Amino acid sequence: MRQVSELTDKHFFSNRLKKIVIFLLVLAVLAGTARFTISRLQAIQQVPVREYVGLPVQTAQVQTGTIKDTVSYSGTVMSTREAVVAPKLMAEIKAIHCSEGDSVRRGQILVQLDDSEPVEKINTLKTRVDSAQINLNYWEQEADTYKTLADHGAISRHEYKNILFKRDNAAAALKEAMAALEEARTFLTKSTLRSPFDGTVTSMAMDEGEMASPGEPVLTVSDTGSLKVVINVIEGDLAKIKDNSAAVIRLPGTGTVVQSRVRKIYPTVNPVTRTAVVEALVPEDALGKARLALGMSASVSIILSQKEDTFLVPTGTVKVQGKESFIFVVDGNKAVKNEVNTGINGDRHVEITKGISAPETVIINPPAELRDGGKIYLPGEAANQ
């Protein structure tokens, strides 16, 4: 019994000791956690709270200047005068005396058609005219002779009138033959195709040896000394454009800018594309400088209206909500909302006709969350706040 009691006492003290050790370990962990938490709180309390400085914005000064209302279209450089050279008869092309790109003069022979048939016809008609002339000469002599006989009563007046009738028929036959000969000679000239004006051969459609038909193009001559840019304008802009309106031609290939004018507005609108053709003339003094070539692409900006000495702000400055247009003006570190009236909308600026004055500073592309009186700052200023 005594041994059992001793074993029980030892077991009791061993369990008690374990509990004390565990309790001390837990207490130590709690103390460490508390110490860490207190130090963190103290560190947080030592960090200064930074004041809200507002939204970052970009600004610009209100300017006074000139603004233009324009519409721009892409077009093609063309000649103001162009002629398709085509025959008026069917014949083989015997010779072509020019090549594409050649400069030609008015009246210069460009194409020679086979003229063997009209030449043969002319020779036949010449013989006919000669015979008719001989016949007329004979009957004129007869008429003179018979007149003398009739005057002396040697023949009747009826016989004399028959001679005059034959003379008149011979004269009519000669006149008819000469008219046919003249017509044949005119027809012969159609075998030779000439340049209608000074210009440049801009295209060749046929070659020597081919059979040309009436109206079928053989080549094209263009006046390269008189050029235009042709554009297709939508019907919504068409009513705004006037004859002789100022325009600017830009050549993307060379970067050349040419001052121009609207030369012609076509009176009909294409029912499919809903566009009409408008031509802008290239001034003669700009032809050499611009290095224009037929078929070259070009953009045309037509000036619809222009305002001078007016208030301007960059595009993106004006915001619209419903029927209200407004801008934000910088007042210290705050944005002040100003209702405005706008005029011309240009490529880079908007005209302000009411609600602003120079030299105020405005906010460009204001953030959506910006409100009237809201705080703002310029990028780079935040570090100094």
**3-state SS class at 94:** strand
Residues 140-149: contacts with CB under 8 Å, at least 24 apart? 140/167, 140/170, 142/166, 142/167, 143/167
Q: What percent of the chain has pLDDT over 70?
A: 85
Q: Which residues pair with 297 in a beta bridge?
A: 76
Q: List the pLDDT tens digit at each of the 385 positions of the chain.
A: 444 455 455 555 566 666 676 766 666 666 666 666 666 655 555 545 567 778 999 999 999 999 998 999 999 999 999 999 999 989 999 999 999 999 999 999 999 999 988 899 999 999 999 999 999 999 999 989 988 888 888 888 888 899 899 999 999 999 999 999 999 898 888 999 999 999 999 999 999 999 999 999 999 999 988 999 999 999 999 989 999 999 999 987 777 888 999 999 999 999 999 999 999 999 887 777 667 788 889 999 999 988 999 999 999 999 998 889 999 999 989 999 999 999 998 888 999 999 887 678 999 999 989 999 989 888 866 545 5
| Structure confidence by residue, pLDDT tens digits, 300-311 | 999 998 899 999
CATH number of the 58-68+308-384 domain: 2.40.420.20
Token pair, residue 54, equals 């507002």
Q: Which superfamily does 89-194 belong to?
A: Helix hairpin bin (1.10.287.470)
Token pair, residue 374, equals 């809201």
CA dist 197 and 110 (Å) reads: 12
- The fold of the 71-80+223-306 domain, in CATH, is Elongation Factor Tu (Ef-tu); domain 3 (2.40.30)
CA dist 246 and 259 (Å) reads: 8
